[in-house]
Structures are given as C-alpha cells and as structure tokens.
Chain A
Amino acid sequence: MSPMPVPPGHVLVLSLLLFGIGILGVLTRRNAIIILMSIELMMNAANLNLIAFSRQHQHLTGQVFGVFTIAVAAGEVAVGLAIVLALYRHFDSIKVDDVRLMKE
C-alpha cells in the first residue's frame, strides 16, 4: 500500500518524456540494436499510460491490455533481434545506413 496516491498527471508527463526519448533514439541513432531499444522505451511509455488510466478509472481492462502489450513487445523483440542477426550475417554490419538494397 502506498501512503500517497500517485497523481495521474505526473505519470502521463513521465510517459511523455519516455516516449520522446524513444523518438529521439529512433531518429538519431544508426545502430539497429539501439533503435530496437528505443522502440521498447516507447512501448513502455504507452504501457505506463494504460496502467495510469486503468487506475484512474478503476477499471481492470487497462491492466489486462498492459499484459497483452508486454506479450506483443516480447514477440516483436524476438523477431526484431532475429532480423538484426540476419542483417549482420548478410552485411557484416548492423548500421541501418549500410542496408540499402532496395535503394540501389
């Protein structure tokens, strides 16, 4: 039991900051693994919003949805990292700048 309830607005601002950091990471980094990590940060931010609103509205659907989001994120990371491995074996690099087969 927490002595003081967390105000939902603060949680929303925190999740906004996390999402912004994720956007920055996806846009600025060129390492495919770091881009995947940034995507994970953004998914966590969305999840935080779900839980915060679930608490605010006293409804459990948000939490159930959060569990589903985590499952989807796990699958996405597995496939994404497998793609990264395949890229590395194919191109000897995991920089997304080096992968331009469809451009040439």
Chain B
Amino acid sequence: MAVLAGLQVIVSRSPIHSAIGLVTSFLAIAGLYVLLHAEFVAAVQVLVYAGGIMVLFLFVILLVNLRERSVWRPRPRTILQAGTGLLAIGAMLVLARRGHWMDVQPGAATDASVGNLEAVGAALFTDALLPFEIASLLLLVAMVAAIVLARDLGREGRDVGREER
C-alpha cells in the first residue's frame, strides 16, 4: 500500500493528487512502525509528516500552482532517466536476492516491561543528549532560514508578497 501510494506521488498529474498519495504512504509507513514495536516513532511520524509537512506542502501548492497544470509528457531524456532509475532498482533487487535478506529471522520480542515511549525518551535524554540539542538548534536555523527565504526578495518580490497578504 505504501508502494502504491508512492507510485501515485510520481505519476499523478496534479500536485494535489501527489500530496494525497504522499500522505497515504506516510500513514502506511506509520502503521508499519507500530508493527515493528516503534510506537513513539510512529506517533512522531503521524504528527510531523502527516500533519506538519503535509500542511506545508499543501500551502505551497495553493500559493504556487493555481493555474499551472504540470503534465507528464515523456521526452527522450525523461525516458533515459527513468531507465537509469529502473536499472538501479533492478540491480538493488538482484543484490537483495543474492544477499538472502528474506531468510533473516525476526529478532526476539522486545522486553515489554518498559514502555517503548519511556525507553526511547530515556535513550534520547541520556545517550543522545548532545545530538538532541544540536537537532533543536538545526530546527531553529531552518525556521529562520525559511522565513528569510520566503519573504526577503527585493522590491518586486516584496510587492507580490504584500498582494498575497
């Protein structure tokens, strides 16, 4: 299901349909995280991806793509690129078959006495404390950069922005 939705992302004509495919794919992957006993990551996935990132995408689609229909017309170069990509996928699949990925047995069940959220939180704030702080700094920098990029564009860009407001 995740793969089908992912396919919809790249073949559909309207970006809105692509966004719907993307959010379906995200939700399917979140379900898979639950099956892999990573409930915390599943919750974060739903909140951040299916919530925040999709809202961002939809906003930008609404701001940008009102009249423009992007049609998927194949050209020789496109076919070449698609061939390259398909070749890469095929090679990876062959490698996967030869590496006997499928024969790996699933690991033993996790110790269920400690909840997944508690365990991840403890690891996050003890072992990975420095990366955690760095990630928060990175998010701050990204936020400032996004605001500056989307707003400060010289005279004509500023006028356009004012009209939209």
Contacts and interface: CB of A to CB of B under 8 A. Distances in A.
A99 interface: no
A41 B37 CA distance: 21
Size bin of chain A's contact surface: 35 or more
B71 to A, nearest CB: 10
B96 A81 contact: no
B157 A27 contact: no
A24 to B, nearest CB: 4
A68 B124 CA distance: 10
Given A78-B142, A79-B142, A27 B36 contact: no
Given A64-B123, A85-B64, A86-B153, A56 B142 contact: no
Given A20-B85, A27-B85, A85 B150 contact: yes
A94 B114 CA distance: 49
Contacts, number: 243
Nearest to B26: A44
B53 A73 contact: yes
A6 B120 CA distance: 21
A58 B108 contact: yes
B7 A77 contact: no
A53 B62 CA distance: 38
A78 B48 CA distance: 12
B127 A9 contact: no
Nearest to B21: A37
B69 to A, nearest CB: 10
A88 B43 CA distance: 34
Nearest to B157: A89
26 contacts: A5-B106, A6-B106, A16-B89, A16-B96, A33-B60, A33-B61, A37-B9, A37-B22, A51-B33, A51-B41, A54-B38, A55-B37, A57-B107, A58-B107, A61-B128, A63-B123, A71-B135, A75-B138, A78-B142, A79-B145, A79-B149, A81-B146, A82-B148, A82-B149, A85-B149, A86-B157
Interface of A: 1-2, 5-14, 16-18, 20-25, 27-31, 33-34, 36-38, 40-41, 44, 47-48, 51-52, 54-58, 60-61, 63-64, 66-68, 70-79, 81-86, 88-90, 93-95
